[in-house]
Structure 1
Amino acid sequence: METRHFFLHHDRYLHDDQIACSGQDEHHERYFGAVSAPIVQTSLFVQKDYQSYCDDMLCEAERFIYSRGLNPTVQMVEEKLAKLERGESCRCFASGMGAISAALLANLRSQDHIIFVNNVYGPALALVKQMASRYDISYDIVLDGNIAEIERHIRPTTRVIYTESPGTMTMNIVDLSAIAALAKARGITTMIDNTWATPLFQKPLTLGFDIVIHSCTKYLGGHSDLIAGAVITSHDRMTEIRDFSHQLLGAVLSPFAAWLLLRGLRTLPVRMQRHQENVLQIIDYLKTRPEVENIRHPALANGQQQEIIRRQMMGFSGLFAFEIKDGDFAQVKGFIDNCRLFKIGCSWGGYESLIISPNRGYNEEALAAHNIAPGLIRLSIGQESPELLIADLDRAFTAIAGMRG
């Protein structure tokens, strides 16, 4: 299909998403007419008398008492994220891993079983591996997202199915509605890391998922200057997450980081459209390079994957991967080191374009176990001119052509 014309944003979401991202619902009159949200940089809120304090403590989840629990600036961004994901409740955390840890720890007990579907963020899997050895948690991994294969791995103790779509590095798509239906029929909680798509391009709660997680460090913040995470779900499910994982583990978002996130959300719709336009031009360029195979981006999906995308996605972000034909660590290293505009960095979602590879020269056996080719390179396409980015990639391809002789 023509990638250049494959923009999917559904009109039924566009208006409400733009309001949620903007400041139109922020009640400026409360803050002296300030058009920019205030930073309520306080740890503590005092009450007018002791009876008020006692009354507030009975409703600690809804009252401003101590900023580890609730803070006006943090609450403002939580309300926006809940609206964007069409969820009832959101809690923000000090990092994406804070959000992932909170969701998993609140929903897993000793001897429970979790199924990872698709290639997921490495630290999330590492956390469960630690839980497996320390707390008697078991897990399985289903890389291809096949529903029959997921069902085959379900045990009586399976409590959580956790996924990403698109998957980390491979960008494989899984059918979220089918996974949600399978899990609901068996009383299993579903979780998804929706960082790649953002709430603008994918809304898993509307597809039947129970819990959505974000690394707000990426596109939602959008400026590579904050670390934050979020969990969005129903009021009932959030109660346990809040009471245990949010309050007692304490990895909460600071007011200043929340303010930076509010600023990032203001421009999220225009930034995501720019990321999409840029990445499609870079993909069109890479399709002309004889050194490239297996460009891994949902815009190039076909067959069943394309049908799934049309049902559950509304657009494409700028993170993707491709493989150098017959590539090895030396060629991957040479390619990356000869880029100038693309910076080497493990995060993504900001203005700047970034490049890395999962191949570190000593882990090819682990890559093979996760169906990742040794020549795979991941690009995060930023906001720069596509012409400049293409020229940078040209330089790198010329360099590895010299290496191949």
Structure 2
Amino acid sequence: MKTIESIFKINEFRDADIMACSGLNEEHGKNFGAVSAPLVKTSLFVQHDYQTYCDDMQHEAERYIYSRGLNPTTELLEKKLAALERGEACKAFASGMGAISAILFALLKNGDHVIIVNNVYGPTVTLIKQMHERFNIEYDIVISGNPDDIKEKIKPNTRMIYTESPGTMTMRLVDLSKISAIAKQNNIITVIDNTWATPLFQKPISLGFDIVIHSCTKYIGGHSDLTAGAVIGSNKYINEIRDFSHQLLGAVLAPDSAWLVIRGLRTLPIRMKQHQENVIQVLNYLKSRDDIENICHPLMGSEEQLSLLATQMYGVSGLFSFELKHGSFEKVRTFIDACKIFKPGCSWGGYESLIISPNRGYNEKAIVQDGMAPGLIRVSVGQEAPEILINDLNNAFNTINEI
């Protein structure tokens, strides 16, 4: 494995990112000098008089009237996330799926076509399939992520290319610059779920993408005590999403959760550095084992994948998967149950280490059709000491090898 220093270029965004994550750009004077951002816990804001109320109602997107629309705590978070992703604007939602749903419902209409690129979060694909059945939204899936394969799927009614990079479970990278160039040539909106990398390690808007999604439940929140989502992009797209999906579908982020996400941002650079250092040590351990078929992490990819990594990313996170040799549900279940530090849990990105598998015993045929091996296991490397995590995995390998 190459060293981290040999793969990543200097992050030219670093100083501005640290400023956005911290409280250095906040106006403390407006908050009585409070170093911590205030939690404005209110459902509505009263106006000085009725004429002011009438005037404000014509500018609901910019004025404090009702917290479903705009709240000072949530607004501060949105400004920070927009700055981190180098977008013009951001809207926050009550969950990652709230953010994803908002984009799809605001920007797609009957008869539109979506190209899903790479292995994408399962509920996202399920929602698009539901929209196909209910609202005549067409879709194609290009698992390979190959630009030529994407071009072949473009139709006159193609409205959106939706991707993740790294991809769910497989962690495969796709070339974001090439995909965005293809989309621009064909007047297609590009959307990416950037949760794996966080805004610190990947900047899709700088690579030509239109819209970026985050499940702030994961690394950005970082403490497994909230659910939140965000959409970042140009004023044009965020206004469309705000007017339709944010205001009318109602999956808005409560100020309490927004405050927790802001708290998470304060330590995001430090936490991501530690996730990266921990996962490198765990990967170094795993690559020495001969009972693993494959390790799915960008650092363990082919030369082509490593080149993409160096070109479009500034670091790596702690979520990855690996395949047990001669894998089966029983083998997977035994391995996971033998772990004591890695706990079975469906999310990731917090301080704790987690472990799951897409193989649930009743769906092996389906996961193979989706390009995943029966012995695939996904781990989220947390903030624990790496030697403890390695020892836990080692004990699990010893357990399955005794069977």
Q: State the TM-score bracket (shorter-chain normalisation).
A: over 0.9
Describe the shift of the 1:186–1:4 C-alpha distance in structure 2 as closer, same or farther (beyond 3 A): closer
Which residues of 2 match residues 138-149 of structure 1 at below 5 A?
Answer: 138-149=138-149
Q: Which residue of 2 aligns with 1:384?
A: 384
Cα shift at 1:6: 4.9
Unaligned 5+ segments in structure 1 are none
Which 10-residue stretch deviates more, 239-248 or 306-315?
306-315
Cα shift at 1:354: 0.3
Aligned length: 403
Partners in 2 of 1:133 and 1:3 — Cα distance? 47
Question: 2:345 aligned with 1:355, yes or no?
Answer: no
Partners in 1 of 2:158 and 2:385 — Cα distance? 47
Letter paired with 2:154 = I
Which residues of 2 match residues 21-32 of structure 1 at below 5 A?
Answer: 21-32=21-32
Q: Which residue of 2 aligns with 1:273?
A: 273
2:160 is paired with a residue whose SS is: strand
Cα shift at 1:9: 6.0
Q: Which residue of 2 aligns with 1:38?
A: 38
1:139 is paired with a residue whose SS is: strand
Q: Which residue of 2 aligns with 1:328?
A: 328
Q: Which residue of 1 aligns with 2:282?
A: 282
Checking the alignment, whether the CA contact within 8 Å between 2:102 and 2:245 is kept in structure 1 is yes
1:12 is paired with a residue whose SS is: coil
Letter paired with 1:27 = E
1:267 is paired with a residue whose SS is: helix
Cα shift at 1:273: 0.3
Partners in 2 of 1:186 and 1:82 — Cα distance? 26
Letter paired with 2:79 = E
Describe the shift of the 1:365–1:230 C-alpha distance in structure 2 as closer, same or farther (beyond 3 A): same
Letter paired with 1:373 = A
Q: Which residue of 1 aligns with 2:249?
A: 249
Which residues of 2 match residues 149-164 of structure 1 at below 5 A?
Answer: 149-164=149-164
TM-score (norm 1): 0.98
Question: 2:345 aligned with 1:338, yes or no?
Answer: no
Partners in 2 of 1:304 and 1:281 — Cα distance? 23
Question: 2:109 aligned with 1:92, yes or no?
Answer: no
TM-align CA RMSD:
0.9
Checking the alignment, whether the CA contact within 8 Å between 2:7 and 2:309 is kept in structure 1 is no
1:77 is paired with a residue whose SS is: helix
Partners in 2 of 1:7 and 1:47 — Cα distance? 55
Partners in 2 of 1:10 and 1:175 — Cα distance? 20
Q: Which residue of 1 aligns with 2:202?
A: 202
Checking the alignment, whether the CA contact within 8 Å between 2:11 and 2:314 is kept in structure 1 is no
Partners in 2 of 1:96 and 1:391 — Cα distance? 33
Checking the alignment, whether the CA contact within 8 Å between 2:163 and 2:192 is kept in structure 1 is yes
Deviation by residue 1:12-32 (Cα, 9 ceiling, x = unmatched): 210000000000111011111
1:247 is paired with a residue whose SS is: helix
Partners in 2 of 1:310 and 1:294 — Cα distance? 21
Which residues of 2 match residues 51-90 of structure 1 at below 5 A?
Answer: 51-90=51-90
TM-score (norm 2): 0.99
1:45 is paired with a residue whose SS is: coil
Letter paired with 1:333 = R
Deviation by residue 1:217-250 (Cα, 9 ceiling, x = unmatched): 0000000000000000000111110000000001
Letter paired with 2:275 = H
Checking the alignment, whether the CA contact within 8 Å between 2:344 and 2:356 is kept in structure 1 is yes
Partners in 2 of 1:6 and 1:383 — Cα distance? 24
1:384 is paired with a residue whose SS is: coil
Describe the shift of the 1:307–1:9 C-alpha distance in structure 2 as closer, same or farther (beyond 3 A): closer
Letter paired with 1:205 = I
Letter paired with 1:34 = A
Q: Which residue of 2 aligns with 1:219?
A: 219
1:248 is paired with a residue whose SS is: helix
Checking the alignment, whether the CA contact within 8 Å between 2:9 and 2:310 is kept in structure 1 is no
Cα shift at 1:47: 0.5
Describe the shift of the 1:324–1:315 C-alpha distance in structure 2 as closer, same or farther (beyond 3 A): same
Q: Which residue of 2 aligns with 1:119?
A: 119
Checking the alignment, whether the CA contact within 8 Å between 1:3 and 1:300 is kept in structure 2 is no
Among the aligned pairs, what percent are the same residue?
63
Kindly report structure 1 stretches of 4+ aligned residues shifted beyond 3 Å: 3-7
Letter paired with 1:286 = L
Cα shift at 1:4: 4.8
Partners in 2 of 1:185 and 1:197 — Cα distance? 27
Partners in 2 of 1:118 and 1:235 — Cα distance? 27
Q: Which residue of 2 aligns with 1:132?
A: 132
Cα shift at 1:10: 2.9
Partners in 2 of 1:179 and 1:11 — Cα distance? 22
Which 10-residue stretch deviates more, 215-224 or 1-10?
1-10
Checking the alignment, whether the CA contact within 8 Å between 1:9 and 1:315 is kept in structure 2 is no
Which 10-residue stretch deviates more, 295-304 or 109-118?
295-304
Q: Which residue of 2 aligns with 1:237?
A: 237
